Structure 1
Amino acid sequence: METIVALHRNRFGDIISFVTSEGRVISYQKAIVEAENGVIAGVQTYLDTNGHVSLMPEHEQSFDYFPNLF
């Protein structure tokens, strides 16, 4: 099972894509789908305050500790 090892942020600091342990670069939306389907471990989906589905690492409270790759 894959995990998220890094991420890509836009110039505003928003996460736009993730890098998996298999080296794939996937969009935020694809990461949500794959987390819900059990393809990616270590993250969970949740409904944010605006009613949107978002991702959160299971053992961290944010993605701030993940490397930002360009």
Structure 2
Amino acid sequence: MQRKSFVAVQKNGDGDITAFKTSSGRVLQYEQALQEVQGGNIQGVNAFKGRDGDLYIRGDADGDPSNNLDQLPSF
């Protein structure tokens, strides 16, 4: 089974990502998406612990800013 990727995002009024759309068309709220990332089901991203101790999703570092999660289209 091929791993999915994130293709679009929803953001709140502060510009924070609140939901993701996957390449299969599923819409995941941030917490659901985090679980999928931690489970290894989403490619091109990873979970990391921020300074505040919470877990966050970020794109894998590949030196290409165009595929940053913030650059994905909105849905």
Fold similarity call, TM over 0.5: yes
Amino acid at match of 2:72: F
Deviation at residue 2 of structure 1 after TM alignment: 0.5
CA RMSD of the aligned region, Å?
A: 1.4
Structure with higher strand content = 1
TM-score, structure 1 length as denominator?
0.88
**Residue of structure 2 aligned with 1:42, choices 26, 30, 44:** 44
Deviation at residue 41 of structure 1 after TM alignment: 1.1
Which residue of the partner structure matches residue 10 of structure 1? 12
Structure with higher helix content = 2
**Residue of structure 1 aligned with 2:69, choices 58, 63, 66:** 63
Can you give the 5+ residue segments of structure 2 that lack an aligned partner in the other structure? none
State the number of aligned residues: 69
